[in-house]
Amino acid sequence: MTARILIIAGSDSGGGAGIQADIKTATMLGAHAMTAITAITAQNTMGVAAVHPVPTDMVIEQIDCVIRDIGVDAVKIGMIGSAKTAVALAARLGEMPGLPVVFDPVMVATSGATLADDATIAAFEQLMRIATVTTPNLPELKALSGMSVLDKAAQREAAQSLVQRRGRALLVKGGHAKGRQVTDRLFQPAEPGIAPEVEWSDPRIDVDATHGTGCTLSTAIACELAKDWSLPEAVARARRFVRIAMQDAAPLGQGHGPMAQQSVRLDLNQSRWAPMLNHVTIPARDLSASEHFYRLLGLRQIVRADERYARFESEGGATLSIEAEEELAAPVVFLECGDLDLMVAYLKAQGMTFTQLPRDEQWGWREARLTDPAGNIVCLYQAGEMRRFPPWRLRDA
């Protein structure tokens, strides 16, 4: 069934953030996006020129109209527009307990423009009480908690205070912190079987295409929650989506440019159970000749390792590798799994025999291997952004 995502947020005329980024994200993740627009903004990559809030009654009517007819599986809340709208939203969504709600407490745009006044920020309290998870960056965490966020210990204390007071999860985004690593931390209420803190850390992506990262992340989390992934799983998958969209972004505008949600095609398997054909490796007798052949076919070369290995990317995002035949005797078919360990456990229960159980490989993929009845090698794997964006990728190929 198609996940139905209700997005409550403002419109960005530049298409980089807000409703526009949300719709692109939901679409690329296979969901149906519905919208309740809270404000109209005139903005581009350089900044916000004007903001026109939508009346609260109209915001609520948009919500009621789509719910009556289409229904909803998860909600994402972004820019709200006014304190009155925030209070009305909390009351309306509070009537639907159990519905996943992801609240991105937007206060300031990437350009620095203020998108929420003090009264609206004060009203965020009510939305945090009904949200499944709230996703503040570090300045927003400071504003919401009234506490210091100077270091990781202070950030943990501030986050835990909010979780204890609201009884809801909090994802603290670390993009505003200094350093070459970006660390995001999920804090959850103390419950049996629930990890109170989960941390993700990845190298910072040095690009200007950062407009809409928070919008994209929160919408992706909502989409994944609607597909019944757990909150930590949904966050992990959403983070991967954001990072891939950042790395594939074209230089647009003169400021903080938009991301490339439209380029995240085959990098995230949507299903726990159905593997997706994503990559094939074939042996090559003459690597240079094979490279020339596939470039002539129109494939884009993205990796070359000496005289033994090369990889190409197709328009759909699928990849093809060629490897010196003295190192690879037969083709290998790679099927991406949404949850590799779960898939392997299921197949083993069906009587399948694996030549390699899941393990982390040095090239950044997690793989398990088996053979089909004809003796061909089949690799089940998870790679995330490392499939298309390994450190050795040829960026200008």
The two tokens of residue 185 are 């931390």
* 214 labelled catalytic: yes
Q: Strand, coil or helix: what is 253?
A: coil
Instruction: Select which of 135, 215, 338, 384 is catalytic.
Output: 215
Nearest to 95 by CA among 67, 123, 76, 124: 67
The two tokens of residue 230 are 């757990």
Instruction: Select which of 14, 214, 338, 384 is catalytic.
Output: 214
The two tokens of residue 392 are 């050795």
* 213 labelled catalytic: yes
* 210 labelled catalytic: yes
Report the alpha-carbon distance of residue 186 to residue 234 in Å, rounded.
11
The two tokens of residue 287 are 């690597």
Report the alpha-carbon distance of residue 124 to residue 340 in Å, rounded.
38
Report the alpha-carbon distance of residue 17 to residue 106 in Å, rounded.
11
Nearest to 72 by CA among 150, 1, 157: 1
Residue 179, number of CB atoms within 10 A of its CB: 9
The two tokens of residue 368 are 């398990």
Q: Strand, coil or helix: what is 302?
A: strand
The two tokens of residue 125 are 């309290």
Report the alpha-carbon distance of residue 287 to residue 322 in Å, rounded.
7
Instruction: Select which of 15, 173, 219, 281 is catalytic.
Output: 173
Instruction: Select which of 25, 134, 210, 216 is catalytic.
Output: 210
Nearest to 9 by CA among 18, 17, 242, 305: 18
* 212 labelled catalytic: yes
Instruction: Select which of 14, 212, 257, 338 is catalytic.
Output: 212
Mind telling me the catalytic residues? Answer: 173, 210, 212-215
